[in-house]
């Protein structure tokens, strides 16, 4: 596998992971007991920390990419294994 492919696939895993871990641990101002700014949405996060999200996304993306690369090398699951037309008919 080329290094450019590795970077592209890892980047896709990272973005997916960032969206997956983003809602975990986030609390609203009401849940934290903080005062709200006039006009603020009720659901606005009170403890948003992008660094924590980036670290969690990096770890999850590394694990997912590691599994993907191990499958790529060992060919545990191939395209032929994913043929769903055999299951329908």
31-88 residue pLDDT tens: 999 999 999 999 999 999 999 999 999 999 999 999 999 999 999 998 888 877 776 6
How far is the C-alpha of 62 from the C-alpha of 14, rounded, in Å? 8
What pLDDT is attached to residue 79? 84
How far is the C-alpha of 59 from the C-alpha of 57, rounded, in Å? 5
Give the domain ranges of the chain. Answer: 3-88
Residue 89 binned pLDDT confidence (cut-offs 50, 70, 90): low
- What value does the mean pLDDT take over residues 4-25? 97
Query: What are the residues whose beta carbons fall under 8 Å from the beta carbon of 16, sequence distance 6 or more?
Result: 61, 64
């Amino acid at each position: 596998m080329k290094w450019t492919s590795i970077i592209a696939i890892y980047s896709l895993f990272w973005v997916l992971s960032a969206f997956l871990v983003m809602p975990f641990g986030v609390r609203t101002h009401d849940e934290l007991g903080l005062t709200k700014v006039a006009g603020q949405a009720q659901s606005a996060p009170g403890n948003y920390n992008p660094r924590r999200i980036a670290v969690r996304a990096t770890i999850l993306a590394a694990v997912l990419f590691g599994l993907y690369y191990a499958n790529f090398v060992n060919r545990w699951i191939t395209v032929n294994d994913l043929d769903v037309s055999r299951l329908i008919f």
